[in-house]
Amino acid sequence: MKDEIQDTRDFLQNISDQIHYFVRDHVYSELALPIQIMLKFIFLAGMIYILDFVFKFIVNTIFKFFFDKEKFPVLKSIYDSRITNSVVHLGALNFAGYALFSVFYRHPKSFALLEIIVGVATIFVIAGLLFRALTAFRNYFVIKQDYYKIMTLNAISESVKIFGIFVLSVIGICLIFGIKGGTILGSLGAITAVLVLVFRDTILGFVTGIHVATSKNLKVGDWISIPKYSIEGNITEISLLTTKITNFDKTISTIPTYDFLTTEIKNMQVMSESNNRRIKKSIYFNINSFKFLTDEDIERLKEINLIADYLEQKRVEIRNEKESLSNNDKTINGRQLTNIGVFRYYAQRYIENDPDVEKNATRMVRQLEITPQGLPLEVYCFANDSKWEHFEQIQADIFDHLLVASKEFELQVMQVSVKV
């Protein structure tokens, strides 16, 4: 191995010497030195380019045999992120550092300058290699469709990139100007508080990314609602500093990622996946329109099929109870049917028989606290289709019917209020 290395050095020195003597013998002495350096540089750069091109072609050709992402997801991720290119570049630069002395041993000043250039180029290639490695991880999780880990990686990768750029910049400055790293790092102690203030959002975004990923509350693609900003739509991107949400009106909202730690966020993805969406809506009735039902009212309402049996059963129960009461001719004595109570039962039976209402979920019609606008009667159930346009149609059909049906019970509607 040592003999092969020595042979390579001798070969490079021979080529360098041939260029050196050729220029010396055929070019004016004033121009000889710069032309010698230029030709040697072209020779070295060309050789490095050829080595880089050949090895990159060989490595990428080998990886093309493993394009099946189902069988080789890791190799597929590595190839797509072009990590192989960075590795080949690193090898080519390593060879350049080894060959510099053999080619420029007659020009020590040029050798020193080119050594710095190769060192800085190596730093850039290493940075690219690290960033591409993070991309490879992300590609792998995309193939595996593990979106929570993608979110964690997004938060980590952004932080690593910022930290990496800082560290590599320090190394580059030390290499170019010959400064010791400890000198630069020591001076940072005085501005630590300023750095923390400057990177506040970055730190919070990193913490938020880790929290969201580990709790698995949110991921890209989820349908969410943020009441604080009146936003409702699908998450399209979660980065270290910002999160993009595509609203249903096709606009795009951007919020700080760290808001996920402090802001109320409703994740409606589970509702979407289960294909059920809640209906929670109230009709406000004028209390002055409430009354006890007379026998004539009951006979008229018995023509409504959904409540006919209920009315007959209740009338018999009330009649039997009143027989044992004194002053049973007074309507207020004992139990009585009211128009609002019967309507509440009718509304319950109506949603129970509605084919667009989920049968295996809660179905309820209830009274809420009395307000200055009247008595709210709330319908609480779940539509069996979560698509927005279908859901709105189902909800509208239910309340169109109930609002008009309330007239049959001689009820006066005051106001309709929606609770999201």
Please tell me the predicted confidence (pLDDT) of residue 203: 64
Element (H, E) at 105: none
Q: Do 170 and 225 lie in a common domain?
A: no
Q: Do 283 and 343 lie in a common domain?
A: yes
Element (H, E) at 185: helix 181-187
Number of domains in the chain: 3
- Identify the CATH number of the domain in which residue 222 sits: 2.30.30.60
Question: Structural domain of residue 116, as residue ranges?
Answer: 11-179
Residue 72 included in any domain: yes
pTM of the entire predicted model? 0.47
Residue keyed to tokens 């319908």: 379
Residue keyed to tokens 């207020």: 332
Q: Which of 179, 214, 241 is the last residue of a domain?
A: 179
Q: Do 135 and 226 lie in a common domain?
A: no
Please tell me the predicted confidence (pLDDT) of residue 220: 77
Please tell me the predicted confidence (pLDDT) of residue 41: 76
Q: Do 257 and 370 lie in a common domain?
A: no
Please tell me the predicted confidence (pLDDT) of residue 271: 67
Residue 21 included in any domain: yes
Please tell me the predicted confidence (pLDDT) of residue 199: 62
d(C-alpha 364, C-alpha 226), whole Å: 27
Determine how many CB atoms are found less than 10 A away from the CB of residue 388: 13
Residue 417 included in any domain: no
Q: Do 189 and 175 lie in a common domain?
A: no
Please tell me the predicted confidence (pLDDT) of residue 68: 58
Q: Do 118 and 238 lie in a common domain?
A: no
Please tell me the predicted confidence (pLDDT) of residue 50: 83
Q: Do 84 and 133 lie in a common domain?
A: yes
Residue 354 included in any domain: yes
Q: Do 291 and 372 lie in a common domain?
A: yes
Residue 4 included in any domain: no
d(C-alpha 122, C-alpha 91), whole Å: 10
Residue 419 included in any domain: no
pLDDT < 70 regions, the chain: 1-13, 16-17, 19-21, 23, 26-30, 64-74, 79, 100-102, 104-111, 141-168, 170-217, 240-241, 270-274, 325-329, 331, 415-420
* Exposure b/e, 331-354, CB count within 10 A at least 16 = b: eeeeeebebbbbbbbbbbbbbeeb
Q: Do 110 and 46 lie in a common domain?
A: yes
Q: Do 23 and 163 lie in a common domain?
A: yes
d(C-alpha 56, C-alpha 86), whole Å: 9
Please tell me the predicted confidence (pLDDT) of residue 180: 62
Q: Do 21 and 137 lie in a common domain?
A: yes
Q: Do 91 and 213 lie in a common domain?
A: no
Three-state DSSP at 325 gives coil
Please tell me the predicted confidence (pLDDT) of residue 420: 40
Contact at 8 Å (CB) between 390 and 383? yes
Q: Which residues contact 264 (CB under 8 A, 6 or more apart)?
A: 226, 227, 228
